[in-house]
């Protein structure tokens, strides 16, 4: 199963919506492999968002992501990255389609509720920033045969 890092950002936590968003992922069929509430410090934020260092929004991004606690999760599913990004919706809530997380809960072009890895390489890097080797838990969920068709060579 593919893994992705999801961050429920400061605005999600402050608005009391973390549970509702986690429920969406669980109802879709994602499995939680790791999860914690934390406050991201400036050093960690600089490592995570370093790719944006030269962009004009970078200082505001660091200020925002370090302003309040976040919920950080590793979720897994078949095609976890593509599916989670589709569930999140367009980057800005004002442009996101209804039915997506940002489309249903966001209006701001600065506060966008949620982060999700955009590639397998990014997921591996980002998961390593927030979780150590023993932090991810592998377990079997009894519901999995009802989420994926297991009749073939791989779950679909």
pLDDT tens profile 89-125: 999 999 999 999 999 999 988 899 999 999 999 999 9
pLDDT of residue 147: 87
Instruction: Determine the Cα–Cα distance for residues 140 and 150; give it in Å rounded to an integer.
Output: 14
12 is a domain residue: yes
130 is a domain residue: yes
Instruction: Determine the Cα–Cα distance for residues 38 and 63; give it in Å rounded to an integer.
Output: 15
Considering only residues 49 and 151, tell me which one the structure prediction assigns the higher pLDDT.
49
pLDDT of residue 25: 98
pLDDT of residue 16: 97
154 is a domain residue: no
156 is a domain residue: no
27 is a domain residue: yes
Instruction: Determine the Cα–Cα distance for residues 132 and 141; give it in Å rounded to an integer.
Output: 23
CATH number at residue 20: 3.30.70.141
Domain range for 102: 2-147
155 is a domain residue: no
111 Cβ partners below 8 Å, 6+ apart?
9, 10, 11, 64
Mean pLDDT of 49-78: 95
36 is a domain residue: yes
In this structure, the strands spanning 70-77 and 31-38 are antiparallel
Residue 115 a catalytic site member: yes
Q: How many domains does the chain have?
A: 1
Instruction: Determine the Cα–Cα distance for residues 119 and 99; give it in Å rounded to an integer.
Output: 23
What pLDDT band is residue 145 in, cutting at 50, 70 and 90?
confident
101 is a domain residue: yes
């Amino acid at each position: 199963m593919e893994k992705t890092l999801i961050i429920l950002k400061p605005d999600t936590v402050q608005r009391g919506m973390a549970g509702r968003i986690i429920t969406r992922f669980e109802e879709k069929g994602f499995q939680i492999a790791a999860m914690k509430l934390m406050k991201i410090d400036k050093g960690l934020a600089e490592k995570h968002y370093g790719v944006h260092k030269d962009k004009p929004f970078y200082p505001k991004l660091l200020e925002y992501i370090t302003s309040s606690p976040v919920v950080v999760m590793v979720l897994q599913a078949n095609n976890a990255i593509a599916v989670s990004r589709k569930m999140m919706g367009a980057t800005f809530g004002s442009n996101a389609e209804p039915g997506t997380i940002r489309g249903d809960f966001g209006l701001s072009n600065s506060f966008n509720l949620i982060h999700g890895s955009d590639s397998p390489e990014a997921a591996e890097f980002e998961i390593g920033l927030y979780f150590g080797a023993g932090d991810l838990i592998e377990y079997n969920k009894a519901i999995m045969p009802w989420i994926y068709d297991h009749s073939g060579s791989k779950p679909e």
